[in-house]
Structure 1
Amino acid sequence: MQHDNNTGVIDTGNKVRRWITYVAGIYILTLGLSLAVRAGIGISPQSSLTRTMTLVLPPLTQGNFNLILEIIMLIATFLVSPKTFRAANLLAMIPALILALLLDFNLSLTTWIHLGSYPPKLVLLFFADAMLAFGLFLMIRANLVLMPIDMFVNTLQQKTGWKWGNIKTAFDCTLLALSATIGLLCLGAPHFIREGTIINAILVGQYIRLYFYLHNRYTTRKSTAPVISNPIAD
Structure 2
Amino acid sequence: MNSNFGFKKNFKKKNLLQAPFSFAFGFFVDFTGQMLSGLNPQTYTSQFILMILGIIICAFGATIYIIMDIVPNAPEGLNLALSERLNMPFSKIKIICDCLFVLIGVIISLIFLGGVTAIREGTLISALLTGKLIGLFTKWFEPGLKKIAFNDNDEKQLLLNEAM
Which residue of 124, 134, 143 corresponds with 1:198?
Answer: 124
Which residue of 69, 83, 88 corresponds with 2:8?
Answer: 83
Stretches of structure 1 that go unaligned for 5 or more consecutive residues are 1-78, 218-234
**Amino acid aligned to 2:99:** C
Superposed, which structure 2 residues align to 1:32-71 within 5 Å? none
Which residue of 73, 79, 88 corresponds with 1:147?
Answer: 73
Q: CA deviation at 1:109?
A: 3.4
Aligned to 1:34: none
Superposed, which structure 2 residues align to 1:87-166 within 5 Å? 87-159=13-85, 161=86, 163-165=88-90, 166=92
Aligned length: 141
- SS class of match (1:83): helix
Output the CA distance in 2 between the equivalents of 1:213 and 1:87: 29
Determine whether 1:176 maps to 2:102: yes
- SS class of match (2:60): helix
* TM-score scaled by length of structure 1: 0.47
**Which has a greater percent of helix?**
2
Task: Give the direction of change, closer, same or farther, for the CA distance of 1:114–1:157 in structure 2 (3 Å limit).
Answer: closer
Alignment check: 8 A CA contact 2:95 2:127 kept: no
* TM-score scaled by length of structure 2: 0.62
Alignment check: 8 A CA contact 1:184 1:190 kept: yes
Q: CA deviation at 1:176?
A: 0.9
Task: Say which structure, 1 or 2, has more relative contact order (CA 8 Å, 6+ apart).
Answer: 1
Task: Give the direction of change, closer, same or farther, for the CA distance of 1:142–1:150 in structure 2 (3 Å limit).
Answer: same
Output the CA distance in 2 between the equivalents of 1:205 and 1:167: 8
Output the CA distance in 1 between the equivalents of 2:141 and 2:74: 28
